[in-house]
Chain A
């Protein structure tokens, strides 16, 4: 047994990570192909792959994927663009925090999915509505988490900057922001994951395209293979975006690893 907190080598990490996927698929195959679970409820892995192939080649599922990715990224980038600066200002300036924090804490608990019917009334079932659902779901979360991170900046670093002649804006720009940039990137990575949940909910109701729409369509046909394929595609996209985020962090913040 390894000791607590003892690191593992890169090779072992990859092998272990992949083997759980293998185990997972194996258990699924045994449950379905072995006849333990009815085909109506859960398709087996082979059917899933066949259905998926059909979706991609015959039913233009790739454009659905593209639309969903566009919605998530669009809504999320929009939210981040506004929320990160507000969060930084809230963390840095206590009067702003006192002014906004109670409302943002309240708004954070408003479930984005519950806004879907309301947003359909306001914005119709077009792209605007999808973007707004994701925006509402991400915006307040990002503000609050960024504000907390910035508010917890090491005081001694701020003091050191002042004794080196930094102005107040200098401290915000050249201490608070760079000190918290890796944490902010981590917050964005986390919230992006949640944004995926909101987009699917938005697409399940009143939509004619996207992964969520495909899943709802397949339900009508009892095509569990297609539904599972859709869900797995979301997982894979999440995995890829996570990987990209982490790679980007390594490039942007080498000092964290130093």
Chain B
């Protein structure tokens, strides 16, 4: 059994009601243990609290009850040990691509020479060579998200949190980005928590898929994915992949129907 890196301990989140309305129970008490080098995808219908859970792990939101432990230390706020890639484009528009990737390193006070070395290696890894001096506005959505991934990775976080990072991309680009991210993970063995509502994506990337229920969110199933690595996009048509997909489709469909009924 590998070392536990992240422990979500009966974490729940209730948002106060808006203008006298009833409070929103976004997340029911949730437990989750993440082992080192796990690639966990969190799959669930819209509004089930996936982002809420991820933001609590990132320290950007506080749980109403329960706590999150990273390497046995309770999370009190955001920090460089948890890299985050957001659903929306959050590159700093006043910095070039290279400066964006270097942001965290600069905050750490790393000397310039080391910074540019790390930046060069990550620009290479996410395929952005030649765009170092462009501004985010000059890049496509896919390139911006690749930069955001590089920016988070360059900081060498203990765990990488991704909130539907490819949600706004077209199918082809999304598929290429999945392979890129998986390639990096296979080589560097980062610990990853990846939120998505795309079933295929959740299987293709994961070593474990966590399925969440419709609101109020709760973990409904925890399904290991034992497909071999390195994975290739052709795997998406294999029988093992298809049977997992069928299983998850059933799980999610039940949730979507229930969400509909609410």
Question: Which A residues have a C-beta under 8 Å from some C-beta of B?
Answer: 154, 156-157, 159-167, 170, 174-175, 178-179, 181, 253-255, 258
Determine whether the beta carbon of B135 is less than 8 Å from that of A258: yes
List 19 additional contacts besides A159-B60, A181-B94, A255-B137; criterion CB under 8 Å. Answer: A154-B90, A156-B86, A157-B90, A157-B92, A159-B86, A161-B92, A161-B103, A161-B107, A162-B79, A163-B152, A164-B104, A167-B107, A174-B106, A179-B94, A254-B135, A255-B135, A258-B134, A258-B135, A258-B137
Determine whether the beta carbon of A255 is less than 8 Å from that of B90: no
Determine whether the beta carbon of A163 is less than 8 Å from that of B82: yes
Per DSSP, chain A at the interface is helix
Across the interface, name the chain B residue whose C-beta is closest to A170: B107
Nearest Cβ on chain B to A88's Cβ, whole angstroms? 16
B residues 51-97 touching A (CB-CB < 8 Å): 58-60, 77-80, 82-84, 86, 88, 90, 92-95
Residues of A within 8 A of B94 (CB): 178-179, 181, 253, 255
Q: Report if B138 contacts A (CB, 8 A).
A: yes
Residues of B within 8 A of A181 (CB): 94
Provide the B129-157 mask, 1 if CB < 8 A to any CB of A, else 0. Answer: 00000110110000000000001100100
Q: How many Å lie between the Cα of A94 and that of B92 in the bound state?
A: 23
Determine whether the beta carbon of B60 is less than 8 Å from that of A163: yes
Residues of B within 8 A of A166 (CB): 107
Determine whether the beta carbon of B86 is less than 8 Å from that of A160: yes
Across the interface, name the chain A residue whose C-beta is closest to B86: A156
Residues of A within 8 A of B86 (CB): 156, 159-160
Query: What are 14 of the A-B contact pairs (CB < 8 Å)?
Result: A159-B86, A162-B60, A162-B78, A163-B58, A163-B79, A164-B103, A164-B152, A165-B80, A165-B104, A165-B155, A178-B94, A181-B94, A253-B94, A255-B135
Task: Please pick, from A156, A164, A167, the residue contacting B88 in the complex, using a CB distance under 8 A.
Answer: A156
Q: How many Å lie between the Cα of A161 and that of B59 in the bound state?
A: 12
